[in-house]
Amino acid sequence: MIAVALAAVLGAAPAAQAESWLPIDPAELAMTAETKAPKAPAIFLYRQVDRDDNVPLERQYIRIKVLTDEGRRFANVDIDYDRTREWIHDIEARTIRPDGSIVEFKGTVYDKTLVEAHGANLSAKSFQLADVEVGSIIEYRWSDRLTDGSVYDSRWLLSGDLFTKSARFSLIPSRLFPLRYSWPLGLPEGTKGPIDQHGTIRLEAHDVPAFVREDHMPPEDLLKFRVDFIYVPRDEADKDTDKFWKKVGQRDYRRVMDFIDEPRVIQAALAEITAPADAAEVKLHKIYARVAQFHDPAEDAAGPAEAEARAKHRAKNVAEVWQRGYGSQRDLDWLFLALVRAAGLHADPVLVPPRDRYFFDERFMNPGPLATEVVAVTLNDTTLYLDPGADLIPFGSLPWRKTAVHALRLDKDGGDWIKTPAPKAADTRASVTADLAMTATGALEGKVTLTCTGYDARRLRTHERREDAAHRRQFLEQQLQALIAARSTAELEDSPDWTDAEAPFVASFRVSIPEWASVTGKRALLPQGLFAGRIQRLFEHATRVHPIYFDYPFELAADTHIALPAGWRLDSVPPEAQRNRDALQFRTSVSRLDDGIRIERSLHSDVVLLDVKFFDTLRGFYDAVRSADAETLVLSVSSAVERH
Amino acid sequence: MQRHRRNCGLPLLVAIAMLIMTVSSPPAGATSMPDWVKGLAALPTPEHDDRTDAVTLTAETELAVDTSGRITRLERRAYRILRPEGTSRGTFQAVVDAETRLRRFHAWYLPPNGKEFELDDKDAVDVALNIPNGQLISDMRVRVLRAQGVAPGSIVAYESQQDERSYVLTEKWQFEDTIPVRSASFRLRLPAGWGYQATWLHHAEVPAVSEAPGQTRWLVENLPAIPIERQMPPVRGIAGGLVLALVPPRGAQRGFRSWSDFGNWYLKLLADRRQPSDALKGQVTMLTAGARTPLAKIQALASFVQSDIRYVGVELGIGGWQPHKAADVFAQRFGDCKDKATLLATMLAEIGVPSYLVIVNTQRGAVDEATPPHLAFNHAILAIALPGDARDPAPAAMYTHPALGSLLIFDPTDDLTPFGQLSGPLQANYAVLVAPDGGELLRLPQLAPSANSLARSAHVALDDQGSLSGSFEEQWRGDRANAQRYALRAAKVDTDQIKPVEALLAGSLTNFDVLEASVGNLHALDRPLQWRYKIAVTAYAKLAGDLLLVRPRLIGSDASTLLETKTPRRLAIEFDAPRHDTDEFEIGLPPGFEVDELPPPVHLATPFGSYDSETKLVGRALHYSRSLSMETVSLPAEQAPALRDFFRAIARDERTTAVLRRAVRAGL
């Protein structure tokens, strides 16, 4: 939101809603289904959003066709708003029965407070349309008057929970600020981009599919068709992309420099951390390790009074951060930047759009997504991207959400665009070594060691960082059991190092798997994929709409030794299985040992973002892995044992 | 519900989270700790194990009634946080609405080191009640006090004083909790002439101490925690408590001393609610015109209310208990459970069929035969007195009443359970029948396992590489059909409709393709939901030398890990409903293979259920059949080891394999 200095420019009070409703198309009244949205409980026949940022006022018009019993729930309407800066008024609604008769809404519009505190009040206007049945059309409209003297960014969200047959949008931009708008995902098929008609931006859309949620998809908000409207301060407005980012970069660089400009305190701090004779690389590691010990303000506060005080008083500069010993992630990264520079190394601040929230494109000239940061340090002609402000990130690594993204490296001239390093599969590995013995009833018992590195280790550590030993034990045992593709019990024997981000995460367990082998009269049958739990149900649905998205590449490995009971012998083993599809690799093999068998299994996934057209290939790969996991070893019992 | 979020600024849900996370700062050092808080640090921690998140140091409740009958409740609670997960005890809530003014709401935080911290009303955040599907309009809100930085070792305490609404003069004090309680007390202050009737719930009676005229106190100490276990009874159904019926002087409206009192109170709420409008009468005539039998007429009306009146609750003040007028509900075509039950009762009366509201808690076990009368319910259904000629064949959900005759129990809010049936949570549940001469507690019927069943059959063939193809048919009944219908109806796009089948198959198979799938009787509630699908599974059976290994249990699982816990079961095990499952699979053998070994048959018979499984060779096909029948809705904890062994035996059986051997050709 941008505050407008001159309230005098405000327009007159908003006009009332248009007197008449749009005409009803008899074909729409008669329709029983929409061929482009089969089985849909309801569809938007029509949506209209008209906004005037000079008033400021937004009017919405909704027309919904109810196609099934389930679709009647769309007759319960909630309009969310912030009572401190919005006024919802002129709510009108009606039901058109399948026979064309009309029931005007004359019920109560309830004003529900959703949350109220400290000068904020989030509320909802709530009403229920009457006499709604399958085949009805329901429609309603309202006006939303926004606070005088303000201009707000906004968006047209084209994708909704329901199929949209037709929609119209318009926006009259504020006369006071330059407006930039973009549609980063493109627009639905057949929809032309927004046009500017005499100062009003307009867009029409037809046949917009309902939004579908799927496993392993990019952040939902990034997949919805939308048009974003962003007001920018006049001094930053520029039609040329390079010039725009140069202004933004210069402004942000000045802010960083102002924050770190505390040479006296920083030099004293550096003297505490490093020795003058330390090599540059040693100094860098020491500074990183020291800053990584700093905490988030909420952590280790001595009670709520201190937590409250810390949350309220943000650091003014790096001197304050150093003296307090805590700070926000950004505070800590800029402290690191100041120390590294004081140590004589070249280092630059870098603004990073985190990919768990944004798929950033600098062409849209929106600095909002540059919400996180790292520090670029040049050492021996190599650039290292470092983030000691993030929790439990080892030296040389970045949180996954800051990897493989375009980021703005700042300097006094504005800076340049760089790409942060992409993670590699080998950096994140979960491996299991198991030393098990099979009993005569087919149970497996023994010791299992789980070793995790990279983002898997960080995930486990951060998940449990505020928990106690009992919780961590239970959590780890459940993690291991989830890896085992059958009912099991696990007792943690050796706990991992929960705090050292540089160390691998190693835990060992005493494990029992009662029903792994199926014992028939004279044989025991063992599926070879004992530690296959993690992928057992991956991509179980054959259809796919969205791209496939993993947070980071990874490797899984298992090395299992199973000692056989006396009198049992291995009759047959499955052939080695191997799949190699560049980014996806899998191998499993069984070998005979003197006292039993050894099963080795490895899976390598270098996939982060994959176009939906490759979904069948990806699913086929995991089907092949699961099929190999289900391959069976056959053991037989000697006749002496059988008789016994 | 259609929810429209704002097109500008902060997304609403994020804003809500931020508001709850944030508290405004109190004046520095301005804590005004009362004496009862100052003394908390010295109190001993009650006995507990290393998994205990927190303990209650003290829990005091004081209920004061003034001479005008106005009731004020004072609550004081203090917890010692022992583990990080116990920090949630530092968030305090009070439910408020237009009639229950919160006069005082304070919280204190005493960290193990550092300054004390105090919050009060001005730091509170009001949040709307969390209503599923947004289908409820209510004036109730939750007022929340929460501070950041609460760590193990802290003591947290709060005090609230609130005016109570007094629809009925019955109060419940629940003193047991899911954490140990060192001390809990309840003080009752009554004006002259008032009395009370005390009934203890799940706890031995504790003597009352008379502190002064009209002032009585009960004290309980060193209570162990109620364990949290999967499929346990509801906490309110097992926690110790005291129910007090207050008795004002001179025959004024008193608290419930019997379920009959409860029924009479509810009858008054219903007094003017069942007047039909002309439109309603006309609808009854229209709906029943084509029905030939009394039962068909009843069913036509029940079906109308069940499916054509959509669920919306408008519950303001007494509206949480009192239905809207039937004529209004009919005109609006929406209402909540008690509205729908009242409307149906009104419509039935038009065809001369009596019916009675039944008030129930949807958590079976929250109320039992020993529960004293109080407002322990959250749902309303209907008992329909079936005329004599409407009982052949009798619907399943019948209750025989000595005076009112054969009553069909029907839930008009549940739009998935067919007429004549009853959903699992209501079966064998205790409810109050609001009869013409008052109320009575009754046990709702428990249906046979066959009413909640899955019958699955398959005809498939294997080839000599182990690949399998064929067709399956499933017939679902009861709650399990309801769950499928609910998921299918909620599908927003057509591809979502196949996902339940894919999810089921993915639990048992790999590398499969669904070639065809169709669902039948999705809207025909009186018939079983039907799935038919054809699948192909690559390498289902595994080749091992000259052997082919086939798991005859193709899909589905009846095993459960419910009781695979490290600690012995302490509470009863609750099931949704009795159930009965059968599988009949025919697996055609590939040419050139013969049976070498078959899994042994399994027969388990226990007091709570039975399981039978067998694989036979019939001609050139394996015939696999099994059935599981669970007869009970609740099993005592002592039976847990037997139930665990029962499920383990099923799990073992589900993994068994038939071994086929490639036949040796003679004469070569």
This model of the complex carries an ipTM of: 0.87
The pLDDT confidence band at residue B575, using thresholds 50, 70 and 90, is very high
The pLDDT confidence band at residue A573, using thresholds 50, 70 and 90, is very high
pLDDT at B1 over 70: no
Structure-block tokens of residue A461: 């550590």
Set of chain A residues whose Cβ sits within 8 Å of the Cβ of B622: none
The pLDDT confidence band at residue B6, using thresholds 50, 70 and 90, is low
- Cα A110 to Cα A131: distance, rounded to the nearest angstrom: 18
- Cα A184 to Cα A168: distance, rounded to the nearest angstrom: 19
Per-residue pLDDT, B84: 93
Q: From B66, B62, B375, B61, select the one nearest B194 (Cα to Cα).
A: B66
Set of chain A residues whose Cβ sits within 8 Å of the Cβ of B134: 76, 78, 126
The average pLDDT across A247-265 equals 96
Per-residue pLDDT, B668: 42
The average pLDDT across A470-496 equals 95
pLDDT at B24 over 50: no
Span A490-511, pLDDT tens digits: 999 999 999 999 999 999 999 9
Burial of A351 (0-12, 13-18, 19+ CB in 10 A): buried
Span B483-511, pLDDT tens digits: 999 888 877 777 787 888 999 999 899 89
- Cα A587 to Cα A399: distance, rounded to the nearest angstrom: 29
B43-69: burial string, b at 16+ Cβ within 10 Å, e else:
eeebebeebbbbbbbbbbbbbbbeeee
Set of chain B residues whose Cβ sits within 8 Å of the Cβ of A79: 4
- Stated as kind and residue range, the H or E segment containing B260 is helix B259-270
Span B71-101, pLDDT tens digits: 999 999 999 999 999 999 999 999 998 888 9
The pLDDT confidence band at residue B19, using thresholds 50, 70 and 90, is very low
Per-residue pLDDT, A312: 78
Cβ <8 Å between A133 and B308 = yes
Contact B579, B446 (CB under 8 A): no
Contact B168, B265 (CB under 8 A): yes
Average pLDDT, chain B: 91
Span A107-164, pLDDT tens digits: 889 888 888 877 778 899 999 999 999 999 999 999 999 888 778 888 999 998 899 9
- Residue B597 has its nearest CB partner, among A132, A523, A624, at A523
Average pLDDT, chain A: 91
Per-residue pLDDT, A114: 86
Name residue, tokens 């000068």: A119
Domains, chain B, in order of start with CATH, read 12-255 (2.60.40.3140), 260-447 (3.10.620.30), 450-662 (2.60.120.1130)
Per-residue pLDDT, A295: 84
Structure-block tokens of residue A357: 């929230």
- Cα B536 to Cα B462: distance, rounded to the nearest angstrom: 10
Per-residue pLDDT, B128: 82
The length of chain B is 668
Contact A100, A29 (CB under 8 A): yes
- Residue B149 has its nearest CB partner, among A60, A156, A298, at A298
Per-residue pLDDT, B64: 97
The average pLDDT across A291-307 equals 83
The size of the A-B interface in CB pairs under 8 A is 288
Contact B201, B76 (CB under 8 A): no
Per-residue pLDDT, A58: 95
The pLDDT confidence band at residue A605, using thresholds 50, 70 and 90, is very high
Span B384-401, pLDDT tens digits: 999 887 766 777 899 999
Instruction: Give the end-to-end CA distance of chain A in Å, rounded to a whole number.
Output: 83
Per-residue pLDDT, B666: 53
| Ranges A188-197, B131-140, B641-650: which has the least confidence | B131-140
* A210 close to B (CB below 8 A): yes
* A115 close to B (CB below 8 A): yes
Name residue, tokens 């949040």: B127
- CA triplet B26, B32, B33: central angle to 5 degrees? 120
The pLDDT confidence band at residue B168, using thresholds 50, 70 and 90, is confident
Nearest residue of chain B to residue A299 (CA atoms):
B149
Set of chain B residues whose Cβ sits within 8 Å of the Cβ of A2: none
Give the mutation candidate from A123, A540, A597 for the B interface (greatest B CB count, under 10 A): A540
The average pLDDT across A369-387 equals 96
Cβ <8 Å between B7 and A51 = yes
- Cα A621 to Cα A584: distance, rounded to the nearest angstrom: 8
* A63 close to B (CB below 8 A): no
Contact B306, B415 (CB under 8 A): yes
Residue window 418-477, chain A: list those with CB within 8 Å of chain B.
466-468, 470-471
Cβ <8 Å between B25 and A312 = yes
The average pLDDT across B565-573 equals 94
Per-residue pLDDT, B313: 86
Q: What percent of chain A has pLDDT over 90?
A: 75
Per-residue pLDDT, B133: 54
Per-residue pLDDT, A152: 80
* A130 close to B (CB below 8 A): yes
Q: What percent of chain B has pLDDT over 70?
A: 94
Span B347-380, pLDDT tens digits: 999 999 999 999 999 999 999 999 999 999 999 9
Span A545-569, pLDDT tens digits: 999 999 999 999 999 999 999 888 9
Set of chain A residues whose Cβ sits within 8 Å of the Cβ of B115: 302-303, 305-306
The length of chain A is 644
Per-residue pLDDT, A598: 97
pLDDT at B29 over 50: no
Per-residue pLDDT, A302: 76
Per-residue pLDDT, B325: 97
Per-residue pLDDT, B11: 34
Radius of gyration of chain A (CA): 31
Structure-block tokens of residue A87: 């006024």
- Stated as kind and residue range, the H or E segment containing B304 is helix B294-308
Per-residue pLDDT, B499: 87
Higher pLDDT, A343 or A638: A343
- Cα A75 to Cα A90: distance, rounded to the nearest angstrom: 18
**How are beta strands A76-82 and B2-4 bridged, if at all?**
parallel
- Cα A319 to Cα A341: distance, rounded to the nearest angstrom: 15
Cβ <8 Å between B116 and A305 = yes
- Residue A80 has its nearest CB partner, among B5, B151, B312, at B5
Q: From A324, A314, A329, A467, select the one nearest A393 (Cα to Cα).
A: A329
Alpha carbon B587 to its chain's center: 40
Q: What SS3 class is residue B151?
A: coil
Cβ <8 Å between B84 and A626 = no
The pLDDT confidence band at residue A16, using thresholds 50, 70 and 90, is very low
Alpha carbon A456 to its chain's center: 16
Contact B321, B138 (CB under 8 A): no
pLDDT at A638 over 70: yes
Residue B400 makes CB contacts below 8 A (sequence gap 6+) with B406, B407
